[in-house]
Amino acid sequence: MKQLMLGNKAVARGLFEGGCSFVSSYPGTPSTEITEEAVAFDEIYCEWAPNEKVAMEAAFGASLAGKRSFCGMKHVGLNVAADPLFTMSYTGVNAGIIIGVADDPGMHSSQNEQDSRHYAVAAKVPMLEPADSAEALEFTKLAYELSEKFDTPVLMKMCTRIAHSRSVCQTSERVVPEVKAYEKNIGKYVMMPGNAKKRHPVIEERTKALREWAETSDINRIEWGGKEVGIITSSTSYQYVKEVFGEKVSVLKLGMVNPLPEKLIKDFAGKVDRLIVVEELDPVIENHCKVLGLKVEGKDILPVCGEFSQKLIAEKIGGEVHERKSLDEEIPVRPPIMCAGCPHRGIFYTLSKNKCVVLGDIGCYTLGAVAPLSAMDMTLCMGASVSGVHGFNKAMEGNTDYKTVGVLGDSTFMHSGMTGLADIAYNESDSTVIILDNSITGMTGHQQNPTTGYNIKGDPAGKIDLEALCKAMGIKRVTVVDPYDLKECDRILKEELAAPEPSVIIARRPCALLKFVKHNTPLTVNADKCTGCSACMKIGCPAISMKDGKSHVDRTLCVGCDVCKQMCAFDAFEREEKEG
C-alpha cells in the first residue's frame, strides 16, 4: 500500500521488513522517531538506553547473539558512542548491525553542526544516505545485507530534512533471516593487541571490497541530462538540485557516501564540461574528487555552514530565483521559550536572583539562558554541567566571589552526569549540582528514562532512586525541593552554596506538558490591586504580558503554577472559580 511516511518512520519500517529484532537507542532530535516508531512492531524488542554508547554496545551484544540489531542517535550522540564504533569496525558482526545517525544541518535543535560522514571515513565503516522516505526504507533493508555480506556495522545517515519529512512509501512483508548461532571466536571478537593487529588488514581489504561494490551498485546512479554541468550529490541536496535544474544538468546521485566509488566518479567527470559537488556541511565528496585529481567546484561556491535550499542552489549555481513580497514592518523574533508552568522556571529565577554562575547542560532547561532569566553561563555537551562546575571550583581555589552550580535534567544526569558527580565526590570539590527531575526526557518529546519507572512502551520498569544513587556515590548533602516554591528554592540554594562540601539539590516536579499532570485553574490579575510594577515579568512566563500598564494573564496558556503569584507584593493574582 502506498502511504505518506515520515523519514524516520520509514527507517523503522525498514527495520521491521529487514528482520531487525533488537533496538537500543538514546533519544536526540532529529533521530528520535526511528525508535519510537519501531516500538509499534511487537516483533522488535525496543528500549531507551541511558546513553548512546550503552545503546551501541547493547546492539553489538544482540548481534553477537545472532539477531539483527539497531541503535539510533543524533550526530552528537555518535561522539559518545565513538568508542565502541571504532573497534566494532574491527570485530565486525555476527548478525547485521545498523547504526542510525541523524545530522542537523542548520542546527534546528542542536549545539553544533558536525558532519557524521567523517566518522564513517575514520572508523572505516560503510555509510548509506537516503534522499527520501522510500529510500530510507529500502536502504535500511539493504544495510542489513551489506552488514552481513561484508561483516561490518553499517552507518545509516539521516538529516533533519529527510528524517522529518513525509514522502510516499511502498511497504512490503517482514523477512527474518535465520538466527545466526553464536560461536566463540576469540581472534575476531576479543580486541587485544595481538588480535586487533590481525584484524586491521582485514578491515582495509573490506573497504576495497565495499568500494568495488559501490562502483556498480544501483544506489549510486547517474541521471543523464545536459552535459555542460555535472553535479555529484546525495541526500536532501539531491532534491534541491533536481528541483532547480530538472533535466538541464547531469546528476551522479550517491546513496553510499563511504566508501566512495572511484571509477564511477571519474567516468562521470569525464563526460561533463563542468563538475560540481553539492553537499551540505563539509567537503567530503569534493575532497575525494580532488584526491582523484579531478577539477571540481564545491565549497568555493557553496557554503560550509548551515543547510541548503533550492533558492541557495539557484543563486550559487545559476537558476531561477523567485520574486517575493515584503511588508515594511519590524517583525519581532520568536525564539523558543520555556512553556507556561515549566517546573524549570522557578529554579532559573532563583539562580538569576542569586547571581549564580550556572554551568548548564543539554535539554529544555538550556532555555534558562534566554532573557529575561539569562541564568546560564555555559552549555557544552551532555553531562558537562557537573564536571564543568567541578573544574571551575577547583581552579577558583576557594575564591567565594562566584556562586557556582551545575544544572542538568534527570535524563542527562543518567546519560553522563553521574561520572562527573563521581569526580566531585572523589576529588572533593565544594560543588553544588541541581538535578531538574521533571520525570521525563523533555526536549526530544517525552521519552522515558531510568529514573522515571517506566519503559519505552510505558509499562512499569526498573526505577533508579536519584537520592539513594547520589548518596551511594558519596554525596552526603542531598535535598529535594519543589521548584514551584520560590521561597524554599531560595532557602535551600543559599544553604547548599554555603555548605563546605559537595551537595546535590533535586528539583522535583513533572513536566507541565505530561498528560497525567493535573493543572490548576488559570490565574487572573485584579486590575485594582496591580500597580504595574512588572515584578511578575522577571520570570519570563509566556502567559504573562503587560497590557495598558497592568499585568495580564493569557488564560489559554496559564496552567496555574502560581510562580507569578509569589512574585507579586500586592496580591494581584487571583484564582478564578472552577468553571462548571
Partner 1 sequence: MDTKNIMIVGVGGQGSLLASKLLGNLFLSEGHDVKVSEVHGMSQRGGSVVTYVRYGDKVYSPVIDEGEADFIVSFEILEAARWLKYLKPDGHIVTSIQSIDPMPVITGAAKYPENLPDKLKAAGVNVDAMDCLALAKEAGSVKAVNVVLIGRLSHYFDIPEEEWIKVIKDTVPEKFVEMNIKAFELGRNFKE
Quote the least distance from Cβ 282 to partner 1, whole Å. 21
Q: In which element (H, E) is residue 38 found?
A: helix 32-38
**Interface with partner 1 (CB under 8 A), residue from 157, 161, 206, 446:** 161
Query: How far apart are alpha carbons 202 and 206 in whole angstroms?
Result: 6
Query: How far apart are alpha carbons 493 and 434 in whole angstroms?
Result: 9
Positions 114 through 143 that interact with partner 1 (CB under 8 A)? 132
Quote the least distance from Cβ 443 to partner 1, whole Å. 6
**Interface with partner 1 (CB under 8 A), residue from 65, 66, 86, 109:** 109
Quote the least distance from Cβ 419 to partner 1, whole Å. 25
**Interface with partner 1 (CB under 8 A), residue from 56, 120, 285, 367:** 367
- Regarding 542 and contact with partner 1 (CB under 8 A), the answer is yes
- Regarding 333 and contact with partner 1 (CB under 8 A), the answer is yes
Q: Which is nearer to partner 1, 504 or 563 (CB)?
A: 563
**Interface with partner 1 (CB under 8 A), residue from 331, 487, 518, 528:** 331
Distance of CA 169 to the CA centre of its chain: 25
Place of cell 579531478: 294
Point out which span in 291-299, 386-394, 441-449, 502-510 binds partner 1 (CB under 8 A): 441-449
Quote the least distance from Cβ 61 to partner 1, whole Å. 30
- Regarding 240 and contact with partner 1 (CB under 8 A), the answer is yes
| CA atoms lying within 13 Å on the CB side of residue 158 | 36
- Could you count the other beta carbons within 10 Å of the beta carbon of residue 351? 26
Residues β-bridged to residue 478? 504
Distance of CA 151 to the CA centre of its chain: 28
Q: Which is nearer to partner 1, 295 or 547 (CB)?
A: 547
Number of residues that bind partner 1 (CB under 8 A): 61
Alpha-carbon Rg for the chain, nearest whole angstrom, is 27
Q: What φ, ψ does residue 120 adopt, rounded to 5°? A: -65, -45
- Regarding 379 and contact with partner 1 (CB under 8 A), the answer is no
β-pairing verdict for 550-553 and 544-547: antiparallel
Kindly report the three-state secondary structure assignment for every residue of 67-100: CCEEEEEEHHHHHHCHHHHHHHHHHCCCCCEEEE
Query: How far apart are alpha carbons 502 and 38 in whole angstroms?
Result: 42
Grid coordinates standing for 315?
Answer: 543563486
- Regarding 393 and contact with partner 1 (CB under 8 A), the answer is no
Q: Which of 311, 169, 324 is nearest to 241 (CA)?
A: 311
- Regarding 171 and contact with partner 1 (CB under 8 A), the answer is no
- Regarding 279 and contact with partner 1 (CB under 8 A), the answer is no
Q: Is 488 exposed, middle or buried (0-12, 13-18, 19+ CB in 10 A)?
A: middle
Which residues have a Cβ under 8 Å from the Cβ of 396 and sit 6 or more positions away?
A: 402, 404
Positions 304 through 323 that interact with partner 1 (CB under 8 A)? 309-311, 321-323
Quote the least distance from Cβ 245 to partner 1, whole Å. 10
- Regarding 3 and contact with partner 1 (CB under 8 A), the answer is yes
Site string for partner 1, 7-46 (x = CB under 8 A): ----------------------xx-xx-------------
Point out which span in 83-91, 159-167, 348-356, 481-489 binds partner 1 (CB under 8 A): 159-167
Q: Which is nearer to partner 1, 207 or 551 (CB)?
A: 551
Q: Is 121 exposed, middle or buried (0-12, 13-18, 19+ CB in 10 A)?
A: middle
Query: How far apart are alpha carbons 313 and 334 in whole angstroms?
Result: 27
- Regarding 580 and contact with partner 1 (CB under 8 A), the answer is no
Quote the least distance from Cβ 461 to partner 1, whole Å. 25
First to last CA, the chain: 47
**Interface with partner 1 (CB under 8 A), residue from 545, 570, 574, 575:** 545
Quote the least distance from Cβ 202 to partner 1, whole Å. 40
Q: Which is nearer to partner 1, 123 or 339 (CB)?
A: 339
The answer to whether 164 and 29 have CB atoms below 8 angstroms apart is no
Quote the least distance from Cβ 230 to partner 1, whole Å. 18
Point out which span in 233-241, 392-400, 466-474, 476-484 binds partner 1 (CB under 8 A): 233-241
Q: Interface residues with partner 1 (CB under 8 A)?
A: 2-4, 6, 29-30, 32-33, 108-109, 132, 161-162, 164-168, 236, 239-240, 242-243, 309-311, 321-339, 364, 367, 370-372, 443-445, 537, 540, 542, 544-546, 554, 556
